[in-house]
Amino acid sequence: MKNKTFAIITDFGFDFSVASMKALILKDFPSAQIIDIDHSIKQFSILSGAFVIHKVYEYFPDQTIFICVVDPGVGNKREPIYIDRGNYKFIGPNNGLFHYILKELGSSCKTYVIKEEFRPVKSTTFHGRDLFTPAAIEITKGNFDIVEPIDRDKLVLIHALDDEVPVITYIDGFGNIKTNISLSSNFNKKDFLKVNVNNTFYLIKVSNTFSEVASGELLCYRGSNDTLEIAANLASAEDILKVNVGDHIAIEK
């Protein structure tokens, strides 16, 4: 039998919570491949989680099942959902975490809610281990009795992105800023870019590499995900610009 592939993304940080989720998988699938996507998602940032899932999933082998847990509303009435796009499967909370996936795939994916009777009675704070991982295991075994269809109009999107508002979507460990602003392939032909960050304007040099600007100086570039990114050479753009995930950002003409 082909080894099963699971991919996990959380905002847990490095602690034993993730290990307990992996341990459950290995009990049923000892030869499973379990890939950590990112556990350093800014805590409670559904937006960052949504951005990362969307940008990374297509690099995985067919039939990967993604367990996605950025869930500030854990234990409340938000539904646990399962999204099936054929070659990729996603499990997580119905809180906007799959915003970009749902926007991109539209009707090409099937959407389900995990049934009430499968949900844990006592666990209200760790659905990553006690709900989402067990559901992923059952679905991998072919047990689809645990889910039922959910109307697409009940699927939660991130309200702030309904009109594709340009925002900061992710900040990595170096303080480099990623956005949802798509850029064309000829973007690097510009010399400088006028950027509006929270109604403050910055003239930032367009560069191909960090070392093209002086130490501590801001630069912007077309990132590996084809969106606008802002960094600082040997410094943190996050600290210089004093920004957070979700802050508004725009290119000015």
Strands, E assignment, 183-244: 192-197, 200-206, 218-222, 227-232
Predicted local distance difference test score (pLDDT) of residue 253: 76
Assess whether pLDDT exceeds 80 at residue 190.
no
Highest mean pLDDT among 121-125, 194-198, 230-234: 230-234
> Considering the chain, what percentage of its residues have pLDDT values greater than 70?
97
Assess whether pLDDT exceeds 80 at residue 159.
no
- Paired with 92 in beta bridges are 81
SS3 state at 119: coil
What class is the 5-159 domain?
alpha beta
Weakest mean pLDDT among 127-141, 181-195, 204-218: 181-195
Sorted by where each begins, the domain ranges of the chain are 5-159, 165-252
C-alpha dihedral over 181, 186, 188, 189, to 10 degrees? -130
Q: What angle, rounded to 10 degrees, do the helices at 16-28 and 133-140 form?
A: 20
The whole-angstrom separation of Cα 178 and Cα 250 is 12
pLDDT, averaged across the chain: 93
Amino acid at 97: L
Question: By the 8 A CB rule, do 232 and 240 touch?
Answer: yes
The whole-angstrom separation of Cα 69 and Cα 42 is 12
How far does the chain reach from its first CA to its final CA, in angstroms?
A: 56
The domain defined by 165-252 folds into Elongation Factor Tu (Ef-tu); domain 3 (2.40.30)
Structure tokens at 165: 């508002």
Give 3-state DSSP helix, strand, coil % of the chain, rounded to 5: 30, 30, 40
Predicted local distance difference test score (pLDDT) of residue 165: 84
Mean pLDDT across 197-224: 94
The whole-angstrom separation of Cα 220 and Cα 135 is 41
Model pLDDT for residues 64-114, shown as the tens digit of each residue: 999 999 999 998 889 999 999 999 999 999 999 999 999 988 778 999 999
Predicted local distance difference test score (pLDDT) of residue 160: 66
Mean pLDDT across 49-63: 96
Model pLDDT for residues 116-152, shown as the tens digit of each residue: 999 987 788 999 999 999 999 999 999 999 999 999 8
Predicted local distance difference test score (pLDDT) of residue 123: 81
Assess whether pLDDT exceeds 90 at residue 11.
yes
Question: By the 8 A CB rule, do 215 and 226 touch?
Answer: no
